[in-house]
Structure 1
Amino acid sequence: MSTCGLCGTDTGETYLCKRDAIRLAERLADLPLLHDEVVHCLVPRQHGWGEIVATRSAAGPRSPLNEDVLDELGSGEMAAVLHARRVDIQRVRWPQHSPPPPTGVAADCRWIAMELDWITGHYPAAGELAAEARALEARARSLVGDPVPRRKVVGTCIAVTDDQGTVCGAEITHKAGESRLVCRVCHCVYEGAQDLLLLLHYQPEDAPH
């Protein structure tokens, strides 16, 4: 019996529970966008929630740049943490391969996301990865002033997952700004009017709307 490396719940034979695996996938999708937003916040916006000023006390005039953002960009924390984790995952899965060169936050997040099924089932440090992603998200959002958006459950997945006609049935969620629906369990994509009409038509009677 295994337990989730993040929340400690029983998971059977995996290193992350389904809930935390889904949240990790969501964070890997959001981190590149947040990283870009941090860059844009280097010079404070003049209006709205994005207006950011230096937060440290110092003698002399206040700097027009956000010093916390400067620290974040200077240290390259997000890029360094994600790339180090990618290198470690590759080391465990393919020890014969040379470490990958740094390719940026977006590329590392995309690579890790593509390996999530293997990570959840075979990577003992999956919980550490999930904790790192959560901390990086919180740090980035504290800098850009963007609260964590809440996902809304819009229905259940109707994709058939095997030759016996088994329906996935996992909850499908949506976040403001997303242009399509993606099942976080079987990865089925619903986009366009026809897909959405079929999804609506085949919802169980008790499915959330």
Structure 2
Amino acid sequence: MHYHHRPHEGLRHPMMPRKALTPNEMWAALVAGHVPVPLTGRDYLDLLPVRWQAITPAGITIHHRTYNTDLLAPHRGQASPVPGRGGKWEIHYNPHDVRHVHRPFDERTWQRIRTQAADGNHGDAEQYEASLADALDLHHHTPGTLPRHAPYLHQRTAGRIGSLTRLIRQAAITAIHDGTERITKRSLDAIRLDHLAETHHRPRRGR
């Protein structure tokens, strides 16, 4: 806090060039007369990361996920008119929420496009596992690793989505803490889950 209240030689206002200002004073001088305005929903979408993707007959595919909606029908297989993008379309996405992406329809309207796994209530288990894995911020994670272990993951979690989510999240936290930055079958097996999942994974032996 002392830093913000101490004058700094490099902080000088054009109207007071001889006076060194504190960071707080400089901030107040620069924003004087401005009223902060909260972001709108459109502002939020505008600020999301952008990918340029083709719109195929199946929809929009990002990693192992396919996003689709009937609203894409006029654009399937069509090239985007935006120059310099190889015919691909502007797609905005939230890396922390892989359930849907957004496409600007015009200057005032956005299309919200859901992943097929979300629309199907996670009926496609492998796609859901891939969605969880791709949302992880692990430097050494290889896309497609978890779907290859689909039979193990189903047996490990008794086929329950909640247990699967907790298992992968905890394995990711462990991978970050121990510096490995990857999820392996060994690291997954070391995670303790709820009683039902553990009983299904490690059934008790008869006495």
- Report the TM-score range of the alignment, normalised by the length of the smaller protein: under 0.3
Larger radius of gyration: 2
TM-score by length of 2: 0.25
Query: Which structure has more RCO (C-alpha within 8 Å, separation ≥ 6)?
Result: 1
TM-score normalised by structure 1 residue count: 0.24
Structure 1 or 2: more helix by fraction: 1
